Amino acid sequence: MPVISVIMGVYNCESTIKRSIESILNQTYSDWELIICDDYSTDQSYMIANEYAHKYENITVIKNESNKGLAYTLNKCLEVAKGKYIARMDSDDISLNTRFEKQIEFLQKNKEYEVVGSSVILYDDSGDISIRNTIEIPNKYDLIKTVPFIHPTIMIYKEIYDNLNGYTVSKRTRRGQDADFWFKFYSNGYKGYNIQEPLLKYHESLTDYKKRSLRVAFWGARTRYIGYKSLKLPLRYYFHVLKPIIVALLPNKLMYFYHKRIRGVKI
């Protein structure tokens, strides 16, 4: 039984999936399994993932029968996972080789926390850009303004996913399933911590911002409204529900520049 189960959802990422998988293979902590679920890719992603599964016995690849979205895909991974801890990973990101070693050491020494994330090195096709830091000890009020963890950096107890019934699968969580999960996490009284050093290289490009739409923003606002109610936040905070809609109305290039240059710490 592996100590860590790494879950990775994959969709049309043939140009990046190899380096993501290789970053898991290069971890200094070796007691892990990698579960990859392909969300009905139309490129060579599934074939590439299977090549690794045939070569390494601790890599498992499954596939959705149609495109279902990331929440559904990650839940399929969780059904297969056998580890005590779950590490998230995305197919265009790179885990630094001491990530698992440092995160599992933290969780084992700090039993008051159920999840640990980290800062990241932001990069695109031109190379490393900046360091994006995270709130060290987030609380439920931080959800008003931001998502408290960078999703692919987290390591969490498997039993927490079980207690929260995994990710919510619905139209409003086709995107933003991570925000919905953190609302459930904090409304159940759990605590998390972010290691204040980058343990992952996080890929972000202008193409990612072009995926934004008003329709997605409205669903994001709906998720915030439901989340605020679950957290029993005072009504004075509810105007923040509109943030996804306001952000969606801003130019993609402006938002990309803001996250790329202004939010991060220059390397």
**The pLDDT value given to residue 214:** 85
d(CA 40, CA 52): 18
Q: What is the pTM of this model?
A: 0.93
- Is residue 245 within 8 Å of 217, Cβ to Cβ? yes
* 179 contacts: CB under 8 Å, gap ≥ 6: 143, 147, 220, 223, 224, 227
pLDDT tens digits, the chain, 267 residues: what are they? Answer: 999 999 999 999 999 999 999 999 999 999 999 999 999 999 999 999 999 999 999 999 999 999 999 999 999 999 999 999 999 999 999 999 999 999 999 999 999 999 999 999 999 888 998 999 999 999 999 999 899 999 999 999 999 999 999 999 999 998 899 999 999 999 999 999 999 999 999 998 656 555 668 888 999 999 999 999 999 999 999 999 998 888 788 776 666 565 555 555 555
* 8 contacts: CB under 8 Å, gap ≥ 6: 20, 34, 35, 36, 37, 77, 88, 89, 90, 91
d(CA 27, CA 239): 43
d(CA 151, CA 243): 20
**The pLDDT value given to residue 251:** 73
**The pLDDT value given to residue 249:** 81
- Cβ–Cβ contacts within 10 Å for residue 47, how many? 12
Amino acid in the structure at residue 114:
E
Give me the domains of the chain, ranges plus CATH numbers.
Answer: 4-205 (3.90.550.10)
**The pLDDT value given to residue 218:** 94
**Phi, psi values for residue 124, rounded to 5°:** -135, -165
